[in-house]
Amino acid sequence: MFNITGDRMTIPMQPDEDGYTGRECPECKAYFKIVFGTGLKGTTDCICPYCGHKGDHSQFYTQDQIDYAMSVAKNYMVSELQKVFKNAFKPKHSSRKGLISIEFKVKTGRLPPIQFYQEAKLETQVECKQCTLKYAVFGVYAYCPDCGIHNSQQILEMNLELAQKELDLAATSLSREWCK
Among candidate residues 58, 17, 21, the one with its CA nearest the CA of residue 36: 21
pLDDT digits (tens, 9 = 90+) for 98-140: 677 777 777 788 999 999 999 999 988 999 999 999 999 998 7
Distance (Å, rounded) from C-alpha 180 to C-alpha 142? 47
Whether the predicted pLDDT of 91 surpasses 70 = no
The answer to whether the CB of 143 falls within 8 A of the CB of 128 is: no
pLDDT, tens digit (0-9, with 9 covering 90-100), for 12-37 = 999 999 999 999 999 999 999 999 99
- Quote helix, strand, coil % in the chain, to nearest 5: 30, 15, 50
- Average per-residue pLDDT for the chain: 87
Q: The pTM is what?
A: 0.76
Contact 135, 145 (CB under 8 A): yes
- Give the pLDDT score at 166: 86
Residues 6+ apart with CB under 8 A from 9: 2, 3, 73, 76
Report the pLDDT value the prediction gives residue 117, as an integer from 0 to 100.
93
